[in-house]
């Protein structure tokens, strides 16, 4: 469930655009800078954006409303709203505001696919690229994955599959599985064939037991079956083996392929488990993986952030809001906390 609380009735897009314009103009202030060789000071007049007002508007609007605000702002002021953010906001604050105003995972047209597509290309040289690929392939709808693939081709003149296949950072059999996942177009309905579920549960259980998860039939099942069918198959595995399939994967295969397969299983059937774990990993230890944390909160705020918070509390005995507040700083912390929402 979404954590975005839209006011009732909401302002019009033009009213919001005007409010954002005022917030971006902010308040002027005088800043002085002393020179080392002189008693004189240089006084600089600066404008600071009203970040609290920006957050109060943007974090309480849906993706469709934010798209309307972008159009209204461009019409009224003859410049893109995102450009104004880049002029006025610091890097840390811009990280969350920019990604939020860009259309996230919650719609299925090509425009709204730009956020994950840009993130995919940005992550190409990073370890996190595999995680982003799994999330885009498995945690979104089939239509949205297709939209991401289409906009990726338009933006970068190649397909995601080409980039994955040619990436030196990925090795077989992991590369083959990811190509299969990003190439998939699954049935999105609720129909389940229990005979198929029993047969494929036996195949998966045998592959796990023999530590041969890279088998073609395993990759084929994970990358082609509908989410409803996979839930039935994984439940059958649990009934047959007495343990959850992800527990079996953890126990039998500690390789990168096994870890990625487990992430795919979670994203396909229980995405709140995957995203709760990513949030936890992003804030553990010294420093914060800001891009990772921002990606999860921005992309899931309108989808299942409430379930993610519940899973996080159950698994880690802590609250997302408390851990994010304790491990972040600068203006972007307030943006992230507004999107996470209050703890029930």
- At 238 the three-state DSSP class reads helix
Do the Cβ atoms of 331 and 93 come closer than 8 Å? Answer: yes
Torsion on CA atoms 336, 337, 341, 344, rounded to nearest 10? 140
CA distance 331 to 51: 7
CA distance 288 to 296: 13
Alpha-carbon distance values, 307 to 161, 272, 344 (Å): 31, 6, 11
Contacts of 171 (CB under 8 A, 6+ apart): none
Annotated binding site for Ca(2+): 26, 283, 287, 325, 327-328
Q: Is 272 exposed, middle or buried (0-12, 13-18, 19+ CB in 10 A)?
A: buried
Do the Cβ atoms of 226 and 189 come closer than 8 Å? Answer: yes
The CA angle 67-70-74, to the nearest 5 degrees, is 145
């Amino acid at each position: 469930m979404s954590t975005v609380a839209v006011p009732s009735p909401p302002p019009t897009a033009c009213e919001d655009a005007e409010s954002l314009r005022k917030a971006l103009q902010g308040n002027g202030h005088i800043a002085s800078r002393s020179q080392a060789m002189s008693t004189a000071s240089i006084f600089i007049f600066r404008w600071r954006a009203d970040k609290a007002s920006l957050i109060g508007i943007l974090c309480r609007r849906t993706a469709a409303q934010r798209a309307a605000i972008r159009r209204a702002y461009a019409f009224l002021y003859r410049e893109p709203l995102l450009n104004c953010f880049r002029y006025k906001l610091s890097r840390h604050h811009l990280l969350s505001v920019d990604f939020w105003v860009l259309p996230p995972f919650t719609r299925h047209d090509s425009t709204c696919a730009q956020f994950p597509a840009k993130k995919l290309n940005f992550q190409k040289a990073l370890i996190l690229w595999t995680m982003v690929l799994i999330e885009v392939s498995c945690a979104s709808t089939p239509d949205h994955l297709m939209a991401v693939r289409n906009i990726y081709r338009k933006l970068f003149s190649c397909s995601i599959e080409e980039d994955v296949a040619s990436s030196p950072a990925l090795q077989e059999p992991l590369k083959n599985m990811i190509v299969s996942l990003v190439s998939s177009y699954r049935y999105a309905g609720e129909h389940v064939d229990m005979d198929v579920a029993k047969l494929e549960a036996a195949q998966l259980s045998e592959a796990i037991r023999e530590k041969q998860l890279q088998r073609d039939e395993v990759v084929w099942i994970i990358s082609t079956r509908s989410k409803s069918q996979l839930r039935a198959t994984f439940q059958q595995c649990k009934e047959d083996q007495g343990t959850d399939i992800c527990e079996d994967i953890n126990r039998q295969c500690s390789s990168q392929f096994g870890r990625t397969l487990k992430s795919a299983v979670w994203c396909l059937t229980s995405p709140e488990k995957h995203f709760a774990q990513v949030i936890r990993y992003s804030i553990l230890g010294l420093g914060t993986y800001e891009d990772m944390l921002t990606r999860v909160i921005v992309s899931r705020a309108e989808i299942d952030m409430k379930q993610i918070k519940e899973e996080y509390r159950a698994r880690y005995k802590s609250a997302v809001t408390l851990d994010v507040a304790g491990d972040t700083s600068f203006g972007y912390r307030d943006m992230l906390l507004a999107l996470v929402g209050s703890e029930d």
